[in-house]
Amino acid sequence: MMYTIGTRGSQLSLTQTRWVVSEIKKKLPDAEFQIITIKTQGDTDARPLFTINQKGIFEKEIDRAVAEKKVDFAVHSLKDVPAELPDDLVLACIPKREEANDVFITNDANTLETIKKGAIIGTSSLRRAVQIRRIRPDVTVKPIRGNIETRIQKVKNGEFDGVVLAQAGISRLNLDVQFQRLPMDTFPPSPGQGALGIVSRRDNLQLIELLKKIEDPETRNAIEAERALSMFVDSGCRFPVGAFAHKENDRLRLKVIVYSVDGSKSIMVEKDSDARKANDLGREVAAELKEKGIADIAMNWREKVEEWNAK
């Protein structure tokens, strides 16, 4: 049986897709695959991510190809997949998650705590920008775009003194680079960070059955809780939320932190539940965030982003 897979053309996307192929072949050795690369808006729009007021900028074109039967399924970095998909598509499979934390990379082995005052730190994420400033208000945080290798090279070239990236991408690409692992308490990741999401047509039941063979149930539960939270608080590139769910003593625990624009205020909610009630857990955490005033923080973020866009 031949299957076609849609993905972005970056080295990370291709590496992730080839890994998925290798995992499926362990279950179905005779299966054959053709990888088709598709450009997305996120690949062609060089603006900082927070200025693009759209969801799914790294996946929409690829998922459209799935819906139009140009490819059978798509492989994404899960944090790029919106919490809500079109009715004819489904998040068919979530394989085992890589490390979800962020890392800090410099040229000289400095950590975020020891790097010089006024250092220029690059990040593509508003969430990370605020988290950096909470720890080091004396550094300058600037937007950085490009794939992982490009961003690391900008540090080597001296354009930036350091950069914050997801560890998962470095691990998947097997890059030989030293980094400081940033703690989850101060750098909670984006919902879905470190996981892959495989999207197929909802009616392609035979394919979904095959993809389920490489799913990791524990990762699925964690991601479902994080995505349920995202759906109910409307998080994204323009209103960042740090969230991470994991299994702890046979329970599913979800911790979420949101920050004010200047980083001076934060709201933290942490709850656990039966792992089979992941969606309910995400909704319960979102409800508590609303009770604690997340709407005011969200409004403040939107106003600030509009100011940045007007400059």
| Average pLDDT for 97-122 | 96
Q: Residue 40: is its pLDDT beyond 80?
A: no
Considering the entire predicted model, what is its pTM? 0.89
| Average pLDDT for 117-131 | 93
Q: Residue 56: is its pLDDT beyond 70?
A: no
- Encoding tokens for residue 114? 């020891």
- Shared fold status for 1-96+195-215 and 217-311: no
Class of domain 217-311 as given by CATH: alpha beta
Helix (H, G, I), strand (E, B) or coil at 278: helix
Per-residue pLDDT at 54:
47
pLDDT band at 302 (very low <50, low <70, confident <90, very high): low
Among 60-64, 151-155, 173-177, 260-264, where is mean pLDDT lowest? 260-264
Query: E strands within the chain?
Result: 2-7, 32-37, 73-77, 89-93, 102-106, 120-123, 140-143, 162-166, 180-181, 196-201, 242-248, 251-259, 266-274
Per-residue pLDDT at 45:
45
CATH architecture of 102-181: 3-Layer(aba) Sandwich (3.40)
Per-residue pLDDT at 82:
87
pLDDT band at 43 (very low <50, low <70, confident <90, very high): low
Answer yes or no: 80 catalytic.
yes
Q: Residue 290: is its pLDDT beyond 50?
A: yes
Q: Residue 51: is its pLDDT beyond 80?
A: no
How far is Cα 52 from Cα 40, in angstroms, rounded to an integer?
13
The domains of the chain are located at: 1-96+195-215, 102-181, 217-311
Q: Residue 53: is its pLDDT beyond 50?
A: no
How far is Cα 151 from Cα 155, in angstroms, rounded to an integer?
7
The CATH classification number of 1-96+195-215 equals 3.40.190.10
Per-residue pLDDT at 231:
85
72, 80, 102, 161: the catalytic one is 80
Q: Per-residue pLDDT tens for 232-271?
A: 876 554 567 899 999 999 999 999 999 888 888 889 999 9
Cα angle 111, 113, 116; round to 5: 85
